[in-house]
Structure 1
């Protein structure tokens, strides 16, 4: 490992990125536009799907009112035995309403438009009149939807920057025979790959920090945890995603092929990693599948730090998952890496 050669490649890659004004502008303004759009879209209107948590004493069977409520379409009903856990999820926008039929009480989140509409649906049932149930607000500090979706938007932006920023660059280098020329130098594959990885990690974390800090001046984001913990989980997630990008591009020879492969890799993560909506109440098989995606652990870990004040020990499952996947992706990427364009 020659440190001078490593620094030379690291510096050259950073200069190449920052001189590309279109790429720099996209990384800066795309997440900002998404945050602005979601802050207006979800400020007064909700979506068509709702999640209601149902509680009942262990000794009670389902009442007729509960059976009638569950017949409503387009609503997910999730059973809970722990009232405090259900109220916590309500305050964090994972649930829209919590109903306890055994004590005839229900809880709403005053900061959620979906909770308001779910309450109207619940009270509109013939067997659940307002006079029968006691209305309560969720415990804990409620957050805005823009605060809840923030980790997802930043994580998604980091995902695209990591995957496409590394994948396209390496394939372009390979296609233009840059890698073939570098192979003739004393530069080793480990030095080149590690320089690319750390360069992209620096760029992603720098851009994400700038975007978060700039938007925080306007939105005053909710934050319960430590900024250091948030930075650490963000860096681990970015490292894992960059490693995945290196693996996908390890043997690709054309930009068209790498574009399809990267889209195939990124779209499932964007839809199933909890970026836009909570996976609470989703089928167990879907949750297991989502746990094999790096973005799931990045978003879940960052969201726990921001909205729940979680420490690194509290999100150790997500940290360990990212470390294991990073190691696996790096080993496979190093084993499969090819310098040449010839097949």
Structure 2
């Protein structure tokens, strides 16, 4: 019995180490993950308070003592209405107009109370204006990311492994003998997974909303449309990855190559604001980024579909590229042995 066990053990190890794709993935992926985190969090420690400024920060930094304080982040805003909305939602602690010598504070913000005292200590003659606003909980901000991440894994792995298994078990070979075309087969896969993912995700969102009462300013229909477009794009990406491969281990590695960077660079758990510029640029090439940014704009800022049209266009373009490329690269059978 031990000899049989040893024979299987050795054979499986040989199989793994001879699969260069799987071996390279297991060696390279952890390194890429560590390097990625190092770049994303390479900045200084997070500031204690955040103050919005309605004038140019560079021009005013030398003229106001409060600008020299450490551990305070100053953010410049061109539009007053946009900055006021940030203050109302507790995304900034104070809003200051140095030219008009006026500041605005959210009376329900404890951090706003502290930053107000810091400002008045250096500039006591500033005029105070108070506003009210409900705080956006971290739960409200992160819930689109949690659902989006779950949808991403369901779309990529739920489709990719199925296609590879069909190809490996010669199911696709049999389907190839029928008049079925690749675009028809792939479209059917998209619709099937879309129905499953949207049904489950909608049920989870509605149930959690009844319990936690999420902060929702926009239309639920608009939110559903964004989720629909994002799901189709992610499913199309999963089909593209599995278009030719017949190795489940290689496909698993490729799906991880796609899913983990999306989870880290799409703002699932944290905002990429303040990260290196090339990281933020790279994130715009990821469909999950556009789905989450559009969903958060609708939920937290009350944006309409027209206001998030750039994200919608990006999702439509990515979906078209993934689906057409997958159809062109699609292979019914595995490589001949």
Given the two structures, how large is their TM-score scaled by the length of structure 1? 0.74
CA distance in 1, matches of 2:191, 2:256: 23
- Whether the 8 Å contact between 1:109 and 1:142 is mirrored in structure 2 is no
Q: TM-score, normalised by structure 2?
A: 0.75
Distance verdict in 2 for CA 1:121–1:53, change over 3 Å: closer
Cα deviation, 1:75-134, whole Å, max 9, x if unaligned, reads 6432223332222123345445444445253534836xxxx4586478569x84696766
Is 2:79 the partner of 1:82? yes
Work out whether residues 55 and 76 of structure 2, in 8 Å CA contact, stay in contact via their aligned partners in 1.
no
Q: Does 1:231 align with 2:224?
A: yes
Matched, 1:260 2:258: no
Structure 2 residue aligned with 1:61: 60
Aligned to 2:326: 333
Give the match's secondary structure for 2:244: coil
Inter-partner Cα distance in structure 1 for 2:130 and 2:140: 19
Larger radius of gyration: 2
Deviations 1:192-215, CA, capped at 9 Å, x for gaps: 111111001111100111101111
Secondary structure, in 3 states, of the residue corresponding to 1:105?
strand
Structure 2 stretches of 5 or more lacking a match? 1-44
Give the number of aligned pairs.
289
SS of equivalent to 1:77: strand
Q: Does 1:246 align with 2:239?
A: yes
Q: Secondary structure at the match of 1:199?
A: helix
Q: Distance in 1 between matches of 2:316 and 2:152?
A: 16
Distance 2:323 2:80 in 1: 43
| Residues 56 and 202 of structure 1, relative CA distance in 2, 3 Å threshold | closer
* Candidates 179, 182, 185, aligned match of 2:172: 179
8 Å contact 2:160–2:239 — kept in the other structure?
yes
Task: Find the aligned partners of 1:331 and 1:231 in 2 and give their Cα distance.
Answer: 25
Instruction: Name the stretch that deviates more: 137-146 or 211-220.
Output: 137-146
2:65 and 2:122 in contact (8 A); partners too: no
Which digits, 9 at most, give the CA deviation of each residue in 1:200-231, with x for residues without a partner? 11111001111011111211222222221111
Q: Over aligned residues, Cα RMSD in angstroms?
A: 3.0
Distance 1:54 1:215 in 2: 33
Instruction: Give the Cα–Cα distance (whole angstroms) in 1 for the partners of residues 130 and 175 of structure 2.
Output: 63
Q: For the structure 1 residues 299 and 209, does the alpha-carbon distance in structure 2 shift closer, same or farther, using more than 3 Å as the test? A: same
The 3 A distance-change label for structure 1 pair 190 and 211 is: same
Residue ranges of structure 1 left out of the alignment (5+ in a row): 1-46
